[in-house]
Amino acid sequence: MGTVHEQERYINPYTDFGFKKLFGTELNKDCSFEQAEIAKFTPKERQEYEESMKEYRDYYNTVETAHNNGHAEGLAKGRNEEKVENARKMKSLGLGVDIISQVTGLSPDEVNALTQGTVPL
């Protein structure tokens, strides 16, 4: 009976599950190795490591935020350009200013300015 309980308590390294649980996949091994290296740091090295990781994360988040903001601005500009182009096409087809304004979301003044070519994008 004792051996049954021992088998339930311990992971068998000879099974696929046991081997992966004990040694992990390649990704887990790399992560475990890195964690083991960090664990060996002196308190000063650990503090320097934590500070460098904080700086890295701050830098990464700053770049990511700038990228996302630039992407959003570019999309907004593209949508506005599309509205103006559609309004020009509708105006060339002879549609009224009120209909063009309603469809594109441009103000009537912006639609009227299309004929003068002064619509800001």
Domain membership flag for residue 78: no
Q: Name the residue range of residue 30's domain.
A: 1-40
Domain membership flag for residue 75: no
pLDDT value at 1 more than 50: no
pLDDT value at 48 more than 60: yes
Q: Work out the mean pLDDT of the chain and round it to a whole number.
A: 77
Number of domains present in the structure of the chain: 1
Q: Tell me if the pTM is above 0.85.
A: no
Domain membership flag for residue 7: yes
pLDDT value at 42 more than 50: yes
Domain membership flag for residue 13: yes
Mean pLDDT, residues 70-87: 90
pLDDT band for position 39 (50/70/90)? confident
Residue 24: left if φ>0, alpha if ψ -120 to 50, beta else—which one?
left
Domain membership flag for residue 102: no
Domain membership flag for residue 81: no
